[in-house]
Amino acid sequence: MDIVMPRLTDSMEEGTILAWLKQDGDSVAVGDELVEIETDKASMVYESDSEGVLKILVAEDETRPIGETIATVGDASMEGTVEGSSPEESSNGASRPLRDDDSGRDALADTHSDLAVDELAADRDHRIMASPLAKRVAEDKGIDLGSVAGSGPNGRIVKADVTEAATKSRPRSAPVAETRAPGTGSKSTEAKKGGVETVELTRLQQLISRRMSESKATAPHFYLRTEIDMSRAVEVRTAFKEAAEEGEAVPSFNDMVVKATALALRNHPRANGNYRNGQVELFSRINVGFAVAANDSLVVPTIGDADHKDLREIASESRRLAERVRSGEITPPELAGGTFSISNLGMFGVRGFDAVINPGQAGILAVGEIAERPAVRDGKIVSAHLMEVSLSCDHRILYGADGAEFLAEIKSNLEEPGLLA
Partner 1 sequence: MAENSFDVIVIGGGPGGYVAAIRAAQLGKTTAVVEKDKAGGRCLNYACIPAKTMLHTAEVFVEAKESEHLGVKVTGAELDWDALGKRRTEVSSGLEGGVAGLFKKNKIEFIEGEASLTDDGNVKVGDTTYEAGKVIVATGSVAQAIPGVEFGDRVLDTWGAWSLPEQPKSIAVVGAGASGAEIASAYIRFGTEVKLIEMLDQILPAEDKDVVRVVERTFKKQGIEVSTGTAVENVEAGKNSVKFTYGDNSAEVDYLMIAGGRVPDVEVLNLDGAGVKLEDKRIGIDEFQRTSNEKIYAIGDITRGPALAHKAMEEGIVAAEHAAGKDTHPVNIDLVPGPTFCHPQVASVGLTEAQAKEAGHDVKVGKFKLGGVGAGSVYEDRDGMVKLVVDKKYGEIVGAHIVGNRACDMIAELVATMALEGGNQELSFIMHPHPTISEAVLESARAVDGWATHA
Candidate residues 116, 134, 355, 356; the one interacting with partner 1 per rule CB under 8 A: 134
Q: Which helix (H) or strand (E) holds 154?
A: none
Query: Is 122 one of the binding residues for partner 1 (CB under 8 A)?
Result: no
Query: Is 164 one of the binding residues for partner 1 (CB under 8 A)?
Result: no
Query: Is 258 one of the binding residues for partner 1 (CB under 8 A)?
Result: no
Residue 12 · residue 66 · CB < 8 Å: yes
Which string of DSSP letters, residue by residue, matches 340-409?
EEEEE-GGGT------PPPTTSSEEEEEEEEEEEEEEETTEEEEEEEEEEEEEEETTT--HHHHHHHHHH
268 has catalytic annotation = no
132 vs 247, beta carbon nearer partner 1: 132
Cβ 163 to partner 1 shortest distance, Å: 11
Query: Is 132 one of the binding residues for partner 1 (CB under 8 A)?
Result: yes
Candidate residues 1, 158, 330, 407; the one interacting with partner 1 per rule CB under 8 A: 158
CA dist 113 → 32, 66, 243 (Å): 20, 9, 47
| Cβ-based burial of 77 (10 A; exposed 0-12, middle 13-18, buried ≥19) | exposed
CA dist 337 → 161, 196, 204, 306, 319 (Å): 25, 40, 18, 12, 19
Residue 13 · residue 65 · CB < 8 Å: yes
Query: Is 136 one of the binding residues for partner 1 (CB under 8 A)?
Result: yes
Show the binding pattern over residues 15-54: x = contacts partner 1 (CB under 8 A), - = does not: ----------------------------------------
In DSSP terms, which residues pair with 46 in a beta bridge?
Answer: 35, 97
Integer Cα distance of 251 and 317 in angstroms: 10
Q: CB-based contacts of 412: which residues, under 8 Å, 6+ apart?
A: none
- Contact region for partner 1 (CB under 8 A) — 17-25, 128-136, 258-266, 277-285? 128-136
Q: CB-based contacts of 136: which residues, under 8 Å, 6+ apart?
A: none
In DSSP terms, which residues pair with 14 in a beta bridge?
Answer: 65
152 vs 352, beta carbon nearer partner 1: 152
Candidate residues 17, 56, 109, 137; the one interacting with partner 1 per rule CB under 8 A: 137
132 vs 374, beta carbon nearer partner 1: 132
Total residues binding partner 1 (CB under 8 A)? 11
Query: Is 159 one of the binding residues for partner 1 (CB under 8 A)?
Result: yes
Torsions phi, psi of 29, nearest 5? -110, 165
Integer Cα distance of 203 and 157 in angstroms: 26
Candidate residues 31, 142, 153, 400; the one interacting with partner 1 per rule CB under 8 A: 153
Cβ 403 to partner 1 shortest distance, Å: 38
136 vs 187, beta carbon nearer partner 1: 136
28 vs 138, beta carbon nearer partner 1: 138
Cβ 16 to partner 1 shortest distance, Å: 32
CA angle 392/396/402 to nearest 5° reads 60
Query: Is 131 one of the binding residues for partner 1 (CB under 8 A)?
Result: yes
109 vs 158, beta carbon nearer partner 1: 158
131 vs 206, beta carbon nearer partner 1: 131
Q: Output the CA torsion 21→24→28→34 (10° steps).
A: 30
3 state DSSP class of 265 = helix
Cβ 386 to partner 1 shortest distance, Å: 57
- Contact region for partner 1 (CB under 8 A) — 151-159, 172-180, 222-230, 287-295? 151-159
135 vs 172, beta carbon nearer partner 1: 135
Integer Cα distance of 283 and 358 in angstroms: 16
3 state DSSP class of 231 = helix
137 vs 321, beta carbon nearer partner 1: 137
Q: Which helix (H) or strand (E) holds 204?
A: helix 203-218
Cβ 89 to partner 1 shortest distance, Å: 20
Query: Is 127 one of the binding residues for partner 1 (CB under 8 A)?
Result: no
Query: Is 140 one of the binding residues for partner 1 (CB under 8 A)?
Result: yes
- Contact region for partner 1 (CB under 8 A) — 103-111, 129-137, 365-373, 381-389? 129-137
Cβ 13 to partner 1 shortest distance, Å: 23
Query: Is 143 one of the binding residues for partner 1 (CB under 8 A)?
Result: no
Cβ 193 to partner 1 shortest distance, Å: 45
User: Interface residues with partner 1 (CB under 8 A)?
Assistant: 131-134, 136-137, 140, 152-153, 158-159
Question: Which residue numbers are catalytic?
Answer: 395
